Every structure is written in structure tokens, then in C-alpha cells.
Chains A and B, each alone.
Chain A
Amino acid sequence: MSGASNSCPNILFVTTDQQHIDTIAAAGCPHVSTPNIDRLVREGVSFSQSYSTNPLCSPARSSWFTGRPTLETGVVVNDRAIRSDIPNIGQWLGTRGYEPVYVGKWHVPQAWPVAVPGFTTIPAGHGGAGNIGDGAIARATQGWIRNRSGSAPFFLTVNFLQPHDICQFVSMHQNAPDKIPYDGLEDVLPELPANFGYDPREPEPVAKKRRWAWTARQWRYYLWSYYRQIEMVDAELGRVLEALDDSPYARNTLVIFTSDHGEGCAHHQQALKNLLYDEAARVPFVVWCPDRVRQNECDREHLVSGLDIMSTVCDYAGLEPPPDVRGRSLRPLLEGTTTDCREFVAAEVTQTGRMIRTQDYKYVVYQDDPVAQLFDMKEDPGETRNLADEAKYADVLAEHRRLLREWEAGLDPAPVPGL
């Protein structure tokens, strides 16, 4: 496998920023209208057990584009560059017959650089303002798909900022009065999630992030506003998909859709991200290509990771992935040729937090923090009862600690400046 040929599929990698996994109407969310993501879900394979490698913008993105955990990329916090000896997916594909094109947010390290290494870069998008930047991203992408003249297969990555504007909402409403500022909205606000309550046996970095003094009404207004921002980015996605439909590439393009991390969404009374609870760590992940990938398949069993993007893309491109990638190609799952499950996925957060998610349990620990978390994800998917101190689960805890030790020992950590 030395280089891509013109028969290799085009790949359209579309991402949102800060999208909670339960924000897709076709997957059962009653609070949103998402006809375009729904279409990908109905005509493709979606994974409900999909985890960010590190639920923060720059770190998660560094893993998408390298197939390496953030301990290895060196991007353990925002605004850091990927370690220079690790190729990104544009550099890898671009020297092997693909045309890599980048539109939208990058953020490793700069959010909106003039040029993304390895890619032809279209400068569209606006920091901190998906409400104006995503339109430019969608329009520029429409234009590129319509106007393109190249014949090599393309790897086009389109990186929207919404629903990240929820950060602006949170900031603007942090001290707002307990009153819905629009008549007629109070009756349509979504209910609070079942796990609005939480087990207080939490590591300190988790508890410290809970700094919201909102009433239940304010939490519900925040949720209502968040769902509108999901609808905004869904509409932009629709314009990109329509341009693809109208193009000569429609039948030979693999679409991968995901998000860098989730959003608190009032689960455990949290907003925003940078947490290893599922609301922040689990993300939408959908793959669409009707001629190659199964349709209307929701995989609720297999654990997948942002690490898997690189390996999956390389597999469909007919290329070997770069050395030492840690992800897996999802192609066998997408095409239904295997049911093999990986034993666990790992994630990191805030430099010191680690997560091991196995089929049945999630283990979370922060370096130098005496409180660990262990949740039975089958019996308690809302993560409301921390089992780490219960003697009955001592063996489970020990096993997960072993998995984490062995996982970390197998990595090639980047020297991280400033720590």
C-alpha cells in the first residue's frame, strides 16, 4: 500500500465543537430538530460508546489528526502544538496521493491559522463566534466542492465551531436574574436530566468545576439555548451535504462526523467540558457512505475513540497508517465483517486526570487526588453512584488500575514544556 489511486474514496471529515452525544433527534433526543445529522445516522453507522481522548478542544483534535493519545502528542491542554515528529493526517495523506483541504477550526496550537501544516487551508471561521463563523465555513465549503477541479481523491475536513457558543451563553447568563427573558418560552423548556443530582464523592478537580449558581429554571433555559445551537450547526452541515450530493463525488465519499468533546448539559449539575463524566467525554460519531458502509446501524456495544479516525481513514484510503498510531480502523465494524471488541478505551483530562472505560465500568482518577471514581456503566449509565470505596468492587477497581498502568507504560510520552 504505497499511495492512493483515483479510485480511492474521497473523505469528508466534519466536526462540531462541544456537542453532547444526546443531541441527535434520530438517536432519540426529543428536544432538537437535526434533520441532517439524522440523515447520516439513518444512512450510516453511529457509535453510542464513542469517547473523546481528552474532552478539551486542542487535545481532542490533536488525537483526531494523529491517532495518538494526548500524552504522546503533547497537546494536554489548549493552544499547544502537536509534537513535531508525529505527522498529522494531512501531511500523511498529502504525500500519498490525496488532496488534503482544511476549513474551520484547527487549534493545535492556533485555533484559526493562515495555514494548517499539510493542508490547503481555506480561511473561514471566527474564534469564539460560531454564530457568524460557521456560515462562512459552510459557504466556503460549498464553494470548494462546487468549484474544485482536482482529480486526486480529497480529504476535506470541515470543522464547525457550534455549539461552542454555549460558552458565551454561560458567561452572559452567569449572574442573570431568575427569569426567562422571553414570553412563551417557560412552557417549552426541556426537563432537567435524570442525573442532575450527583454523588459527592468526586475528585477535587471535578467538584471545583461545578461553579454554577443557577436555579432549575435557569438550567432549563441553558439547555433550551444549547439545543438551538445544535440546530444551527445541523443546518450548516446540511448545506455541506447538499453540495456533496450535487457534486460528482457523492457516490464515492466517506463522511465521518464527530465532535471534539461534549457539554455538561446539566448532568451532574455541570456545564461546559474538561470532565471525564460521559456528558463531556462521550461524543457523537457517525460514518456514512451508502455504497460501502452499513446503513441505519447504531452500534451500542463497541467502544470507539477519537484515536480511530486516523486508522479508519488510512484503511479506506488503502494506506498504511503512520507508525505507532494507537487507534484502530473501524472499517470491519462499519462493514459488519467483525464483532471484535477492544477491552477498553482510555482518556485524559486537565493533565492529571485519567479514565479507563471498559465494557462494564468506568474508572476515573486524578494524580495526587485521594478520591477515585468507579461507575457501573451498565446498571448506572448516568454515573450517579461511585463504587470505588465499596469492598465488593475492590477487584474491579484493581483491574482497572492495572489497565491504566499498563496503558500508560506502553506510551511514548511527549516532553511537555511548562509542567
Chain B
Amino acid sequence: MPQDPRIRQTRTRPFSPEALSAWGELAGFSPPGPFEPEGEWRHTYEILLAGRGRRGYLTVARATGPGGGARLEVEQALRQAAGATWCTRATLDCSADPISSPRAWSLESVVLRADAPLDVATVREEGAVTEGVLRVTAQGRTRERPLGNPFTSDWSLFDAVQRLPRKDTESLSFDLLERLDLLKPDQRLGYRREEQLELDGGVLPLTGYQQIGRGLLPVQYWVDEHCRLLLVMTGPRAYIWAPTAREDFGEAET
């Protein structure tokens, strides 16, 4: 285990906004003012692992896509063992529905070793949902799965939770295609609570939502008063809003 007490302390209690703040993980955290969830935006998050420190970043950029829904550009990089990095890039065209259901997407998953892609381990896929059937094509081969429920992806939810109507949110039920790869059925997303998070610069009002379902530890989403998604946490993993995380990634501790 790492000897750095600052890192070690992050495995001494469950993640919450208050715990992250108490551990100093939100030092200098000052999200800007007004924000338009329906507009064009780019959010970048550092990925924190309990007891392991900051191990990667996630960027989700939104533009208006065909049909009036969102087009999301996603990039995630996660440090792996032995000096490798796992990078995933995806473009999703989503429906204009409350859960930003992906309608079509393309994805590339690459393992980088010494900054060079390991071609033999690279995956490229195209996906689409039409008439209740999920189709994923890789190397000319298509797999189909019927979908019985509303359907979305975890990255789509980074967009969708910013448009939920706070306390009046009724639970949303859906199946989840995690990472556009793993189907996790029977998810429920609903309101959690309000929280006044004390930071060095004052108090940050947050609204929390929670998602519970099969194949996942519960997920908490926390948005600010402008509906900007600032924090996501699930089990020993947290996404912390950090605009420079992508640039900082190369200098992060290994």
C-alpha cells in the first residue's frame, strides 16, 4: 500500500463530498458561475481511487447532435500497471430524453505502452440502437441484443443528471450499457439529498442523486446550484471536476 498518508486516508471511510473535502481532495475547488446544461460544454474530471490517488481523467464534451439530442465526445484515460495507460475515446449521438439514451456511437479502446498503442489489444466498435435492438459491430461482425427497458450509458448520465428536476425527481428506471460495453440491467436513478459543502472559499450547495442497480456499486452524482455535475462517486472510485486534469495527467504521480 502507498505510504503517503494523504492517499492512504482515502480508504478510511466511504466516499462522500464531505469526506473528499476533509481529505483535501477538493482544495482549490471553485467551479465557475452560470452554466447551461442544454448548451455546449466540456467537463473534465480527475479519477480518484481509494488508497491509490489520482489515476486518470474523464472528459465529456457536449454539443447538439442530430435530432436535437446531445452529441457527446468522451475521452477517458486510466493508468494501468507496468507503466501502461488504458484510453477510451467515444462519440455518442443521444436522444433528447431524460436519460440521454445513446442512439449511435463509435468507440476505440487502446492500451498504450510507453505512449505507443499496443495494436493487438486495440478494440474499435460501432454501436446503434434501433427499434429496441442493440447492435454492436466490430471487425465486420455484428452482435444483437434486444432491449426491453429504457436504456442509456454511464457517460450519457454525466449529461443527463444535470437536467434532472431536483427534489421532484421521480426515480428513473433503465438498463445501463457501461462503457458502451457491459449491459447492467435494472438501474434506478433518483434524488438523494441536498448538501452544503464547506470549502476553503465558502459553502458550495450541492444536490445529490443516486443510482442503484445490478452489477454496480451505488453511484452518487452531485451537481451545483447551476446544475453542473461536479462529483460522481461509486465504491472506491470518484470523479472530481477538474478542468486541467487532462493536461495534468502526464505529471500525476504513478
**Which A residues have a C-beta under 8 Å from some C-beta of B?**
33, 111-114, 121-129, 131-133, 135-136, 138-144, 146-148, 165, 168-169, 171-176, 181-185, 225, 228-229, 231-232, 234-236, 238-239, 242, 246
Contacts and interface: CB of A to CB of B under 8 A. Distances in A.
13 contacts: A123-B83, A124-B81, A124-B86, A124-B111, A128-B51, A135-B179, A141-B121, A142-B138, A146-B139, A147-B122, A165-B235, A171-B11, A182-B210
A136 B80 contact: yes
A32 B15 CA distance: 24
B182 interface: yes
A131 B235 contact: yes
- The A interface, classified by DSSP as helix, strand, loop or mixed, is helix
Interface string B44-62: 0001011110011000000
Contacts of B56: 132
A72 to B, nearest CB: 28
Interface in B1-42: 1, 11-15
Q: Which 5 A-B pairs rank lowest in CB-CB distance, beginning with the nearest?
A: A112-B81, A123-B84, A136-B86, A140-B121, A231-B215
Given A33-B215, A132-B237, A172-B11, A126 B80 contact: yes
Contacts of B217: 131, 225, 228-229
Given A172-B236, A182-B210, A239-B182, A126 B78 contact: yes
B133 interface: no
A163 to B, nearest CB: 11
B214 interface: yes
Interface stretch (B112-120, B157-165, B195-203): B112-120
Contact of A176 (B14, B119, B181): B14
B228 interface: no
A132 B47 CA distance: 10
Interface residues of B, number: 55
A172 B50 contact: yes
Nearest to A111: B81
Contacts of B81: 111-112, 123-127, 133
Given A143-B121, A175-B13, A235-B215, A131 B80 contact: no
Interface of B: 1, 11-15, 47, 49-52, 55-56, 78-84, 86, 88, 109, 111, 113, 118-123, 138-139, 141, 143, 178-179, 181-185, 188, 192, 210, 212, 214-218, 234-237
Contacts of B113: 123
Nearest to B122: A143
Given A122-B111, A136-B78, 14 more contacts: A112-B80, A124-B111, A128-B51, A129-B236, A139-B109, A139-B111, A143-B120, A144-B120, A147-B122, A183-B210, A184-B188, A232-B216, A235-B215, A239-B182
Contact of A232 (B13, B80, B183, B215): B215
Contacts of A129: 49, 52, 55, 236-237
Given A114-B82, A126-B80, A143-B121, A33 B181 contact: no
Contacts of A139: 86, 88, 109, 111, 121, 123, 181
A125 to B, nearest CB: 5
B212 A168 contact: no
Contact of B78 (A113, A132, A171): A132
Contacts of B216: 228, 231-232
Contact of B212 (A126, A131, A185, A238): A185
Contacts of A114: 82-83
Contacts of A185: 212, 218
Among A114, A125, A143, A183, residue most surrounded by chain B Cβ atoms (within 10 Å): A143
Contacts of B234: 131
Nearest to A135: B179
A169 B84 CA distance: 26
Contacts of B182: 235-236, 238-239
B236 A33 contact: no
Contacts of B236: 129, 131, 165, 168-169, 172
A112 B11 contact: no
B8 to A, nearest CB: 10
A122 B118 contact: yes
Contacts of B183: 235
B121 A144 contact: yes
Contact of B181 (A135, A148, A171, A232): A135
A185 to B, nearest CB: 7
Contacts of B80: 112, 123-126, 133, 136
Contacts of B141: 246
